[in-house]
Structure 1
Amino acid sequence: MTSRTRLLTAGAVTAAVALAGAGVGVASAAADPPPLAFTSAAPDVIAERYTWDEGAHLYLDLGINVIAGKDPFEIRATRKSYADPIDAQQYVVKNGKRKAVSLPAGMVTDWYGLKDFTTVSITNEAGTEVANYQTDFCPNSYNSARTRRDAPAETPYPQGCNGGNPFTLGAVWGIQAGWNGEVDSMPRRQELDLPDGKYKATVTLNQRYRDYFKIAADDSAITVGVTVTTAERDKRGAAVAEARIKAARAGEDTSEQAAVAEHGEHAGQGDPKLQISAYKPGFRPPAKAPKAVKASSIAKGPRPDLRSLPAWGISLSQEDEKWFVNFGATVWNAGTSPLLVDGFRRTGTELMDAYQYFFDAKGKEVGSVEAGTMEWDAREGHRHWHFTDFAQYNLLGSDQKLAVRSGKEAFCLANTDAVDYTIPSAKWRPDNTDLSSSCGQNTAVAVREVLDIGNGDTYTQERPGQSFEITDLPNGTYYIEVKANPADKLTELSTANNTALREIRLGGTPDARTLEVPSVHGLD
């Protein structure tokens, strides 16, 4: 089929989930928009091919979308523990009431969205198939927009499906009524490269989704013409392109701005023009540090609750004849209030006094207390203000006594990971999601750092000083300890859940160390 619009006709479930207008003339309000529309933006697209030292890769965007109708399309996925499978439910409107309906088994197996949503088949001018692969569907498109005049002005749903963190606990995926969700065009589980030339790409909804949404086979495929051309780009452009391709495979933001941030290592470092101000109108801290009070003197009310996830992304590396264990670590906020820390600069120094602020149930600020300090980190790859009392990483021996302490002792708070968006009051669209917009520049007189409800702050320990040196450690069992609020300077609901341990096993010889990382219930 070559039609650019396919309506997903209503089944028993989707009839209640009224999802969006039909593709042709979507800017005009539909009298009765269908529950879902499967559409393409254009009959033909250009796909740029990039080459660099490691090879060549194709960046492909076919412009295929799912559009929601008069009500939002929403899915919530949760798991009770790391040992339990993900349970996904679709929230539908039936007889004016909102109801949760469990999705069929196999549709959701990880945090990247609906698994194997479409099949993409690409043929060359001779009609020979040159590529065939599955794509997942993350409804939380970074470039989602309203597609008809009567659609709501804003969408509440998160950006991206954040599938990279293995210890995510809950996710919300959705498309606002009348808005679009972009269908992935590139495979997540394999590389894609095609020589320059003309092709046809046919995108087909897979059988399980045709059955679930009651879609006839003739109405479940879209064909788009594709012209592949090798782009002439400088080294920086190629690196940005590579970042976009990585993001596409990971279900993350594929915009060029996001790719520039990724390539800039800690988001835009090295090019001052790319750095974003830490402040926004209406979001400035007071002009000077407040008078210190005790947390106990502030009325009981909402509080953050910092929790640590097990270390992840663990690897072994060698540099200058030294051995290191590298790892990712996430601390997240499972509380009833955001963690909000303002720093106030001591004039003429590279040090700030930090204060934690508190809010009542209506969000009104009710007080603040001293919370340590912030310091300027001038190292390459950082160049922003670090809060010094957020977390601590330790390597413990088999007896769980300290063996090595990580050199990482200060942090720029940012909402990098959606850990559990199903908890009450979780902030689905946080403002500060990368380090360039969160932690200020050296000219700042004050800085605000925030960790919102349901969000985590992840640091990937990839550099010496931000990992454990294990050169002289004997072989054996060790534990990576991730500890939030190590000095108890932050006030939170509970400190009983601040620490997480992850077992590792060191082996080998001094010249060839080995690392074994047992999984956590099959994760990571």
Structure 2
Amino acid sequence: MGIAAVLAFGLLGEGGATHVASASTATTAPAAPTASAQHGLSIAPAAETVTAYNYDGYVYLDSSFWLAAHNGSYEFWAKRTKLSEPTTLTKTVIRGTKRTTTKVPASLVDGFNGLKDGLTVQVATTDGKVLSKDTRSLCLGGMDRQRVDPTGRTEPVYPSFCGGAWFTKSTVFGVEQGWAAQVDAYFELKTKRKNLVVTTSISAPVAKVLGLPANGRSLTQKVKIVDECDTFDCANVGEQLLGEPDEGFSTLAEEAPLTARAQDLRAQSAGTHGTHGAEAGSTGPEHRVNLFALRDGDHGGDHPSLGQQGTEPSTKKPAKDTLPDLVSMPAWEIGTENEDGTDRLSFSAHEWNAGPAPLVVEGYRKGSAEVMDAHQFFYRDGKEVGNAKTGTMEYHDAPEHDHWHFLDFASYELVKTNGDLVTTSGKQSWCLVPTDPVDLSVPGAAWRPEATGLDSSCGDRSALWLREVLPAGWGDTYSQYQTQAFDLTDVRNGTYQIKITVNPNGALHERTKSNNISYRTVVLGGKPGARTVKVPAYEGVDTETPLDLR
């Protein structure tokens, strides 16, 4: 495993350390009884030694801590009916056709992030000196899944993450029968030690919810440290650690800002891809890489829709059960910034698909011109049943873009309270990607969009064809900042509204257009060079404070 994989959910990801807590008494890696002898959840057999990577005086490690499900699946639903209400969490044990559901105590619910304070990771020297001990939420939805016995499904079912955004209504996570999920036990530590020991423990209250015995909730492993420069080109290690912030993947609201160490690493190797943080003089939020976005290599190749006969373009009205329902959510993460003397209003925008069918748009190039005809495809039960011409895709030749945009997805406008247009944002075209789950309980919701075979791609200049997808239950978040934000040069102080319209010209086929427009009130103030903005709460929730989905 390369260090990029080790750090994917560490420097940027879910379940980051929240505070120090005590770990339980550690045990070594458990023995592996036969599948038929195991019941419920348990720590999967694990290697006694794990590999850590040393770079620039820091050690990076994921402890390889796995929870396996035997003779049943463990399914957790996090839901809320209103934005202002706390998230509830239920656990369902599924054995055959029998489902047993219990409610998780509110004190153990960390919003959409999993089980609160459920996991402690302790790093110590071989003689027992504790160097680091962090407690974080426990998510049973790890990025990596592995099969542990032949009784379960051939592929995993549950999402590979926990978490949500401001407008998330419901998410699901869990471990399938016969599978094990890797728990986020990542840590980073500044040390020159060459021999370490890592102990990963599940708290007693959470172990009780999961049905883990007192002597089966902790794992201790030796740590083998490898010099990362022996594996990667050291000149590029920082970029390999953090990845590049791609346009269209710019925000993950539920995450804490990058650690100082992460910012240092990115600065060392950013080049033209620096952190999308607030510029000097900005009062806006930091923009971060979105880990919900699909990544190269994550796309499934065995989806039933692949390899079937294509359909002829048609202008016939598609059936309702083959259509998406596109919904506009109000703007959030709103701030002001000043760049090169220009005041701007930055914001994040979010449009999602309430289903039941996915939004699938494909582009077909017209000769050598950097233009594609866009077609919307209609699916029923994973099978393509028709398509229709729906708009245009164009190649966007600009820094941090250099890919294709669909021109007919959304529009962003700043309007007066009477609806009169004041100005538009500097970005009015899109590369569609499922970045955030909104409601995974809607009909047709995709729990694992990376495995549907309907992969999203922004393409490059040489592309002949593209497929961009927004699955049911998912939204696409864009952060409008710098030149993409509203130019406030000629905008007076006062009360305005950010108007977001999905499917603005009606070119996309969908179930209803009644929910395509949203408004968010903003109050502008300040002076040129130091503009300010106040944002009233939405449905009783202040979305401009650090995200807390408890």
Aligned counterparts of 1:154 and 1:98: Cα–Cα separation in 2: 21
Residue 356 (structure 2) aligns with = 336
Q: How does 1:191-206 map to 2 (within 5 A)?
A: 192-197=188-193, 198-206=195-203
Aligned counterparts of 2:427 and 2:453: Cα–Cα separation in 1: 18
Where does structure 2 lack aligned partners over 5 or more consecutive residues? 1-24, 245-250, 257-264, 277-287, 290-294
Q: Residues 411 and 212 from structure 1, CA distance in 2 versus in 1: closer, same or farther, beyond 3 angstroms?
A: same
Q: How does 1:90-109 map to 2 (within 5 A)?
A: 90-93=91-94, 96-109=97-110
Amino acid at match of 1:509: K
Q: 1:321 aligns with which of 323, 338, 341?
A: 341
1:293 partnered with 2:311: no
Aligned counterparts of 1:279 and 1:184: Cα–Cα separation in 2: 23
Residue 285 of structure 1 and its aligned partner are, at CA, apart by 11
Q: How does 1:31-110 map to 2 (within 5 A)?
A: 31-39=36-44, 41-51=46-56, 58-93=59-94, 96-110=97-111
Amino acid at match of 2:463: A
Residue 4 (structure 1) aligns with = 28
Q: Residues 436 and 241 from structure 1, CA distance in 2 versus in 1: closer, same or farther, beyond 3 angstroms?
A: farther
Q: Is the 8 A contact 1:277 1:437 kept in 2?
A: no
- TM-score normalised to structure 1 length: 0.80
Residue 9 (structure 1) aligns with = none
Residue 17 (structure 1) aligns with = none
Q: Is the 8 A contact 1:67 1:181 kept in 2?
A: yes
Q: Is the 8 A contact 1:414 1:435 kept in 2?
A: no
Residue 208 (structure 2) aligns with = 211
Residue 469 (structure 1) aligns with = 487
Q: Could you give the per-residue CA deviations for residues 86-118 of structure 1, whole angstroms, max 9, x where no partner exists?
A: 122111237952133221113223222222111
Amino acid at match of 1:200: V
Amino acid at match of 2:61: L
Residue 152 (structure 1) aligns with = 153
Q: Could you give the per-residue CA deviations for residues 472-516 of structure 1, whole angstroms, max 9, x where no partner exists?
A: 322233322221101111121111111222333332221322233
1:427 partnered with 2:446: yes
1:481 partnered with 2:503: no
Amino acid at match of 1:337: A
Q: Is the 8 A contact 1:49 1:193 kept in 2?
A: no
Q: Is the 8 A contact 2:78 2:111 kept in 1?
A: no
Higher deviation after alignment, 337-346 or 385-394: 337-346
Residue 418 (structure 1) aligns with = 437
Aligned counterparts of 1:493 and 1:180: Cα–Cα separation in 2: 38
Q: Residues 335 and 114 from structure 1, CA distance in 2 versus in 1: closer, same or farther, beyond 3 angstroms?
A: same
Amino acid at match of 1:508: G
Residue 460 (structure 2) aligns with = 441
Q: Is the 8 A contact 1:50 1:241 kept in 2?
A: no
Aligned counterparts of 1:276 and 1:134: Cα–Cα separation in 2: 31
Higher deviation after alignment, 385-394 or 212-221: 212-221
Aligned counterparts of 2:408 and 2:174: Cα–Cα separation in 1: 36
Q: Is the 8 A contact 2:88 2:111 kept in 1?
A: no
Residue 155 of structure 1 and its aligned partner are, at CA, apart by 0.8
Residue 13 (structure 2) aligns with = none
Q: Is the 8 A contact 1:196 1:230 kept in 2?
A: no
Q: Could you give the per-residue CA deviations for residues 99-140 of structure 1, whole angstroms, max 9, x where no partner exists?
A: 332211132232222221112233345534332221222222
Q: Could you give the per-residue CA deviations for residues 351-380 of structure 1, whole angstroms, max 9, x where no partner exists?
A: 2222223345x4554433331211111222
Q: SS in structure 1 opposite 2:35?
A: coil
Amino acid at match of 1:104: P
Amino acid at match of 1:193: L
Residue 308 of structure 1 and its aligned partner are, at CA, apart by 1.6
Q: SS in structure 2 opposite 1:82?
A: coil
Q: SS in structure 2 opposite 1:237?
A: helix
Q: SS in structure 2 opposite 1:65?
A: strand
Q: Residues 112 and 235 from structure 1, CA distance in 2 versus in 1: closer, same or farther, beyond 3 angstroms?
A: farther
Q: SS in structure 1 opposite 2:190?
A: coil
Residue 455 (structure 1) aligns with = 474
Q: Is the 8 A contact 2:357 2:471 kept in 1?
A: yes
Higher deviation after alignment, 398-407 or 490-499: 398-407
Residue 173 of structure 1 and its aligned partner are, at CA, apart by 0.2
Higher deviation after alignment, 170-179 or 42-51: 42-51
Residue 282 (structure 2) aligns with = none
Q: Is the 8 A contact 1:78 1:422 kept in 2?
A: no
Q: Is the 8 A contact 2:433 2:469 kept in 1?
A: yes
Amino acid at match of 2:345: V
Residue 432 of structure 1 and its aligned partner are, at CA, apart by 8.2
Amino acid at match of 2:184: D
Aligned counterparts of 1:436 and 1:129: Cα–Cα separation in 2: 45
Q: Residues 150 and 364 from structure 1, CA distance in 2 versus in 1: closer, same or farther, beyond 3 angstroms?
A: closer
Q: Residues 45 and 423 from structure 1, CA distance in 2 versus in 1: closer, same or farther, beyond 3 angstroms?
A: same
Count of paired positions: 476
Amino acid at match of 1:225: K
Aligned counterparts of 1:30 and 1:277: Cα–Cα separation in 2: 29
Q: Residues 140 and 429 from structure 1, CA distance in 2 versus in 1: closer, same or farther, beyond 3 angstroms?
A: same
Where does structure 1 lack aligned partners over 5 or more consecutive residues? 6-22, 252-258, 269-273
Q: 1:354 aligns with which of 374, 377, 398?
A: 374
Aligned counterparts of 1:94 and 1:445: Cα–Cα separation in 2: 47
Residue 152 of structure 1 and its aligned partner are, at CA, apart by 2.9
Q: Is the 8 A contact 1:412 1:435 kept in 2?
A: no
Residue 139 (structure 2) aligns with = 138
Residue 463 of structure 1 and its aligned partner are, at CA, apart by 4.0
Residue 15 (structure 1) aligns with = none
Q: Is the 8 A contact 1:196 1:227 kept in 2?
A: no
Q: SS in structure 2 opposite 1:84?
A: coil
Q: SS in structure 2 opposite 1:336?
A: coil
Amino acid at match of 2:349: A
Residue 433 of structure 1 and its aligned partner are, at CA, apart by 9.9
Residue 66 of structure 1 and its aligned partner are, at CA, apart by 1.0
Residue 529 (structure 2) aligns with = 511
Q: Residues 480 and 512 from structure 1, CA distance in 2 versus in 1: closer, same or farther, beyond 3 angstroms?
A: same
Q: Residues 393 and 50 from structure 1, CA distance in 2 versus in 1: closer, same or farther, beyond 3 angstroms?
A: farther
Q: 1:226 aligns with which of 210, 223, 226?
A: 223
Q: Is the 8 A contact 2:42 2:68 kept in 1?
A: yes
Aligned counterparts of 1:510 and 1:457: Cα–Cα separation in 2: 32
Amino acid at match of 1:175: V
Q: Is the 8 A contact 1:324 1:468 kept in 2?
A: yes
Q: 1:24 aligns with which of 31, 52, 55?
A: 31
Aligned counterparts of 1:159 and 1:278: Cα–Cα separation in 2: 13
Amino acid at match of 1:446: W
Q: Residues 284 and 323 from structure 1, CA distance in 2 versus in 1: closer, same or farther, beyond 3 angstroms?
A: farther
Residue 283 (structure 2) aligns with = none
Residue 415 (structure 2) aligns with = 396
Q: Residues 280 and 60 from structure 1, CA distance in 2 versus in 1: closer, same or farther, beyond 3 angstroms?
A: closer
Q: 2:322 aligns with which of 274, 279, 302?
A: 302
Amino acid at match of 2:358: P
Higher deviation after alignment, 469-478 or 226-235: 226-235
Q: Residues 402 and 210 from structure 1, CA distance in 2 versus in 1: closer, same or farther, beyond 3 angstroms?
A: same
Amino acid at match of 2:535: V
Residue 180 (structure 2) aligns with = 180
Q: SS in structure 1 opposite 2:378?
A: strand
